[in-house]
Structure 1
Amino acid sequence: MNQHSVTGEIKTEITASDRANIARLIEDYRLYEGVDFLVPLEEMLAPSENKPAPLLHYQGDTLTGFAYLQHLRPDAEIEIYGMVHPDHRRKGVGTTLFEAAKAVWRQRGASDLLLVCDGALSSGKAFASAHRGAYRFSEHRMVLDPTSIKRPQLSQGQQVQLRRAEGTDVPILAHLVSQAFDSSEEEMENWITESISADNQRFYIGLLDGLPIGSLRTVSFGDLTDIVTFGVLPLYRGQGYGRQMLVAIVDLLLEEQWPGIALDVETKNANALGLYESCGFRKIRTCDYYQVPEGELARS
């Protein structure tokens, strides 16, 4: 699908030529800004039935910018990760992409629309401000340093077993995830049913004496695997079970020789941040999230 605008053309069908253009634009961005783009190329271009298509902005044959839209669950907001080539900034490219992203948000009926910016760069913050984005929260990106893992001291009868989930475990996973993240169990069941069969995703259940008390998921792109959707039932928090689950999945991923193991944590979540740091994860960057207000969403 192609859309024309006063500043160029928006394209959503990705060809091999587009992939090469995106890779070059990401490299230009890295050289100009001195940092990597927030989302790996493999993740942005991974095929998915439910993920919104990337939005590409072309001026003639030149790729001048793009927006990657992340919509993780039906009840979740849409996150926008965008980039404009340094030579084409302040020419309406970012605004055109933003308007196209707003159209996707309307079509999907997502809860909110968030602009995601690298906390170290002023350009993203300026764009969010120009579009009346209200600061909502920040997250640290963390990667594993295997030499810094502090392993928990386990007593008899306190060990959590981590088991990979199967399709028949969807109702259990839906209950665990909905309780851990205060979300609809029915929506979680539909989402997990769709996600559990993906080649690059795995769900795990934490069992204490055979009782499911927590869950987590891994999502892999290229050489990197992310630990996500990690939660423990409220009744079992603060007792070291989450640490056991985290160390268990880290050990499993290390055994599989994954070059990169990462996760994200909200900057104000001191308990989780302390847990991740003690399990060997180190901060490499911070992302800021800005919520687009209803008034801006209503404009077109």
Structure 2
Amino acid sequence: MNLFAMKISYPIDAETEQELQALLKMCQLKDAVEYGELMHEKYWQQASAGSFIVVIYDEDQDKLVGALSAYDLLAINTYEWSLLVAPDYRQIGIEEGLIEGLKHGLMERNANGEMAVTLHNADMTKILTDNGYVYSSSEIEMRALPEAASISSIVVRPYIASDLNALAVMMEDGFGDVREETVEMADLIAAEQNSQIWIIEQADEVVGTMTTASEGQVLWITAFTVAAAYRQQGIALTLLKWVKNYATEKQFSTLLVEVETENPAALSLYQKAGFINKKQFDFFVVK
């Protein structure tokens, strides 16, 4: 078998994009898993400084048999990456070749860091650990369908600049974010046409916040916290009912959220609100 490897910077050319999409389709049919998100498909045509893809071809068959996408999501020269290998070519060294290409690409870019992301899978866990990576954490993607509901106990409205102090306190208490991080988040979301910060009020008091982002027919819950003084009062569950009703009104087909496996309280809350586990992502870092 004659193999050929190369690195391609974002944006991906049309021919390579077609080959990558064929690889995705082949693997999705075999594994019954959607790999587009994991392989950063929606970003392939973006001119993202530093982001790149490693590809390996079987020259005898003139066929793309493996790919690794390394994407600098936050533009800080730190890369989140995932790999995918054609079913008939797995565990014969293609994965190791892709990781070797990754290392070269990171060295060329003087990368500040990297993190491997994979669907929960024993074979990939072994490949990563054999290549010098250690498990870091996991997130479960949870799904719910929109559902109409009548909500009267809370008021949910878009964030405005005068909410910054209350938002900063809630983000620090809920996520450990310092004020500067909250300001940066608010500015980034304000610049995103499909993202929104929501403020939750009860009896004219700010009691919580949620951020959402839309992708086509999907509405993502990207952050969610209730002010410390108002927890354990049913506000969180009421807010999830509100967002399911909002999704109905705006004609979204699905609600998605990612929850860390080390946060059982959040997992339980979403389950009570009718969310079900869809898939688990595992994160690995260099030893």
Shorter chain as normaliser: what TM range? Answer: 0.7 to 0.9
Question: Which 5+ residue runs of structure 1 have no aligned equivalent?
Answer: 1-5, 294-300
1:8 to 2:12 alignment: no
* Offset of residue 283 of structure 1: 0.9
Distance between the aligned counterparts of 1:220 and 1:131, measured in 2?
36
* Offset of residue 54 of structure 1: 4.8
Stretch of structure 1 that moved more, 202-211 or 32-41: 32-41
Query: Considering only aligned residues, what root-mean-square deviation do their CA atoms show, in Å?
Result: 3.5
* Offset of residue 55 of structure 1: 2.2
- Provide closer, same or farther for how the CA distance between residues 21 and 46 of structure 1 changes in structure 2, counting only shifts above 3 A: closer
Match of 2:71 among 66, 69, 76: 69
* Offset of residue 101 of structure 1: 6.6
The question of whether the paired residues in 1 share the 8 Å contact of 2:56 and 2:98 is answered with: no
Matched letter for residue 30 of structure 2: Y
Distance between the aligned counterparts of 2:220 and 2:49, measured in 1?
17
Stretch of structure 1 that moved more, 251-260 or 193-202: 193-202
- Provide closer, same or farther for how the CA distance between residues 187 and 102 of structure 1 changes in structure 2, counting only shifts above 3 A: farther
Question: Which 5+ residue runs of structure 2 have no aligned equivalent?
Answer: none
The question of whether the paired residues in 2 share the 8 Å contact of 1:207 and 1:214 is answered with: yes
Distance between the aligned counterparts of 1:183 and 1:78, measured in 2?
22
Question: SS at 2:142's partner residue?
Answer: strand
* Offset of residue 51 of structure 1: 8.4
Distance between the aligned counterparts of 2:107 and 2:163, measured in 1?
36
Distance between the aligned counterparts of 1:166 and 1:277, measured in 2?
31
* Offset of residue 205 of structure 1: 1.5
Distance between the aligned counterparts of 1:175 and 1:43, measured in 2?
36
2:17 aligned partner: 19
1:132 aligned partner: 132
- Provide closer, same or farther for how the CA distance between residues 10 and 88 of structure 1 changes in structure 2, counting only shifts above 3 A: farther
Distance between the aligned counterparts of 2:179 and 2:200, measured in 1?
18
The total of aligned residue pairs comes to 276
1:80 aligned partner: 81
The question of whether the paired residues in 2 share the 8 Å contact of 1:152 and 1:244 is answered with: no
Distance between the aligned counterparts of 2:118 and 2:177, measured in 1?
26
Query: Could you list the per-position Cα deviations for residues 63-102 of structure 1 after superposition, in whole angstroms to 9, with x for gaps in the alignment?
Result: 430325364697xx75323223335541343213532574
Distance between the aligned counterparts of 1:172 and 1:105, measured in 2?
40
1:224 to 2:218 alignment: yes
2:26 aligned partner: 28
Question: SS at 2:191's partner residue?
Answer: coil
Stretch of structure 1 that moved more, 274-283 or 214-223: 214-223
Q: Structure 1-normalised TM-score? A: 0.76
- Provide closer, same or farther for how the CA distance between residues 36 and 191 of structure 1 changes in structure 2, counting only shifts above 3 A: same
- Provide closer, same or farther for how the CA distance between residues 283 and 257 of structure 1 changes in structure 2, counting only shifts above 3 A: same
